[in-house]
Amino acid sequence: MSSGADRLELRHAVERHYDSLAFLYRLFWGEHVHHGLWPVRGGSPKDAQVRLVSHLAQRAGIAGGERVLDVGCGYGAAARWLAANHECCVIGITISRAQARQARRRNRRDGRDDAVAIIRGDAAALPVCERRFDIVWVIECLEHLAEKGEFIRRATRTLVPGGRLALCSWQDGGRGDGLVEAVCDAFLCPSLATAAEYRAWCETAGLEIRCQEDLTARVLDTWKVLVRRVSRPWARPLRWLVGHDVRRFVDGFPIIARAYETGAMTYGLLVARQPA
Ligand SMILES: C[S@@+](CC[C@H](N)C(=O)[O-])C[C@H]1O[C@@H](n2cnc3c(N)ncnc32)[C@H](O)[C@@H]1O
pLDDT of residue 79: 98
* CB of 14 closer than 6 angstroms to any ligand 1 atom: yes
Type of residue at 127 = P
Number of domains observed in the structure of the chain: 1
Residue nearest to ligand 1 atom 17, measured at CA: 95
pLDDT of residue 251: 84
231 Cα–ligand 1 center, Å:
25
Distance CA 91, CA 99 (A): 14
* CB of 90 closer than 6 angstroms to any ligand 1 atom: no
In 200-275, which ranges are E strands? 208-214, 265-273
Q: How many CB atoms within 10 Å of residue 108? A: 10
Type of residue at 41 = R
Give the domain extent around 163: 4-273
pLDDT of residue 101: 96
Residue nearest to ligand 1 atom 2, measured at CA: 33
Nearest to 53 by CA among 70, 29, 41, 65: 70
pLDDT of residue 30: 87
Helix pair 221-230, 22-29: axis angle to 10 deg: 110
CATH, residue 238: 3.40.50.150
Distance CA 103, CA 211 (A): 30
Q: Is 46 exposed, middle or buried (0-12, 13-18, 19+ CB in 10 A)?
A: middle
* CB of 78 closer than 6 angstroms to any ligand 1 atom: yes
Q: What is the pLDDT along the chain (276 residues), one digit of tens a residue?
A: 557 788 888 889 999 989 988 777 777 788 999 999 998 666 788 999 999 999 999 999 999 999 999 999 999 999 999 999 999 999 999 999 999 999 999 999 999 999 999 999 999 988 778 899 999 999 999 999 999 999 999 999 999 999 999 999 999 999 988 999 999 999 999 999 999 999 999 999 999 999 999 999 999 999 988 888 877 777 666 666 667 777 788 888 899 999 999 999 999 999 999 999
pLDDT of residue 7: 82
Q: Which atom of ligand 1 sits closest to the CA of residue 33?
A: 9
Helix (H) / strand (E) element for 162: namely: strand 159-172
Residue 275, SS3?
A: coil
Check: CB of residue 18 under 8 Å from CB of residue 98.
yes
* CB of 59 closer than 6 angstroms to any ligand 1 atom: no
pLDDT of residue 5: 84
138 Cα–ligand 1 center, Å:
9
* CB of 82 closer than 6 angstroms to any ligand 1 atom: no
Could you tell me the sign of the dihedral formed by the alpha carbons of 9, 70, 226, 192, in that order?
A: positive
Distance CA 110, CA 112 (A): 5
Beta-carbon contacts of residue 177 (< 8 Å; ≥ 6 apart): 262, 264
Check: CB of residue 146 under 8 Å from CB of residue 122.
no
* CB of 77 closer than 6 angstroms to any ligand 1 atom: yes
